[in-house]
Amino acid sequence: MAKATQPVPPGFSTLTVHLTVPDCAGYIDFLKRAFNAVEISRSPGPGGKLMHANVKIGDTMMMLNDPFPEMGSPPIAEGNWPLRLSLYVPDADATWSQALANGCQVVFPLQDQFWGDRYGQVRDPRGFVWGIATHLEELTVEETQERGRAAMAAMGGGHA
């Protein structure tokens, strides 16, 4: 598979909204009705929840998922904003270090992920969670799904 030629994947902006919402599939239907969102992709997970979905509203991509408390994605709770700000940068490690140096706390360690990004999450001093990522490789849907199944099996999460 060819390596990515840019740190931001095609179709995405440098800053992309990522919402964690209960009944993610229902919320996608609402977005389609209310804002003419176009569903780009969805990755079902255990128990019928969505591990990840992409919709496009106008020229903007939005990421969504159902809550997965066991994977650091809990439902709405006090002090836990129901969104993630996903920031694509040329060097995730440099931005990660800068964020930590300026008061952010690790939520999810920065590491290469099965979907082709180097990715981790930090919570800023105001409580917002930022996903920091650099796109490393282009994968087909099938490659991503296979890697996802292998990652879930390795974590004891069963089959996606």
pLDDT tens column, 44-84: 988 889 999 999 988 889 999 998 888 877 666 646 677 78
pTM score? 0.63
Residue range 89-126, pLDDT digits in tens: 899 999 999 999 988 899 999 999 999 999 999 888 76
DSSP letters for 48-115: G-EEEEEEEETTEEEEEE--BGGGTBPPSBTTB-SEEEEEE-S-HHHHHHHHHHTT-EEEEEEEE-TT
The whole-angstrom separation of Cα 42 and Cα 32 is 14
Residue 81, both tokens: 């904003």
At residue 143 the predicted structure's pLDDT band, cuts being 50, 70 and 90, is very high
More confident residue, 12 or 126: 12
Domain ranges of the chain: 15-154
> The domain 15-154 belongs to what CATH superfamily?
2,3-Dihydroxybiphenyl 1,2-Dioxygenase, domain 1 (3.10.180.10)
